[in-house]
Amino acid sequence: MNDGLLFPKNATNEERQIDWQLIAKISDKDFGFNNLKPKSDEIRFNVRCILQNSNGEICVIRSEKFGYIQIPGGGIENEETIVDALRREVQEETGFLITDIKPIGYILEIREDVQNKYDWGKAISYVFSASPKKEIGTNYTEYENTEGFRPIWMTLDDFIAEKEKLRNKAISYSGNFSDKRDLEIARFYKNNT
């Protein structure tokens, strides 16, 4: 059931009708943050993708500058449907056009601590699995290039092990959320496929 689940304005009726399962709810309490700022009604809508190749490996993005890895994805832009954003984000970050797109579930993040520098206090990430169809090259932002982003392939188990090893060792407020989000997605995918 999608009781109470919110959608970006350009989500299609088909996207709204998917039986979205809650993968995890992540909040400041998970990390011991309790210095609350005034609540924001703004919501950031995102997409994330478990992109798995025929060898059973998943494509993740590594920051060469900071050494972290993350599941590809990002924000849904104003005029995009959820799946359009997924296709764009995966291509920009991994370099691949995708096929066999299947919804997995969603992650809800509640960020109300003063360390949250964004104007939104809630983030919803729609999570999918997909297969690579054709490689056409990445399209990183200047910030992503500065961080040394690059796609790498690894097993799901290795990704989970690396995320578990780094749990609660993030170097930033947002990093705590990203690490927990990606770990929850990977565990859910492993246990439900």
Question: What is the domain range of residue 130?
Answer: 13-192
Whether 151 is covered by a domain: the verdict is: yes
Q: Residue 67, by phi and psi: left (phi above 0), alpha (psi -120 to 50) or beta?
A: left
CB within 8 A of 61, min separation 6: which ones? 69, 70, 71, 72, 93, 94, 149, 150, 151, 152
Whether 170 is covered by a domain: the verdict is: yes
Number of domains in the chain: 1
User: Helix, strand, or coil here: 16?
Assistant: helix
Whether 127 is covered by a domain: the verdict is: yes
Tens of each residue's pLDDT in the chain, 193 residues: 576 799 999 999 999 999 999 999 999 999 999 998 888 899 999 999 999 999 999 999 999 998 899 999 999 999 999 999 999 999 999 999 999 999 999 999 999 999 999 999 999 999 999 999 999 999 999 999 999 999 999 999 999 999 998 777 777 899 999 999 999 999 999 999 8
Whether 2 is covered by a domain: the verdict is: no
Whether 4 is covered by a domain: the verdict is: no
User: In this structure, is the dihedral angle defined by the CA atoms of residues 77, 178, 123 and 81, taken in order, positive or negative?
Assistant: positive
* 137: CATH: 3.90.79.10
Whether 128 is covered by a domain: the verdict is: yes
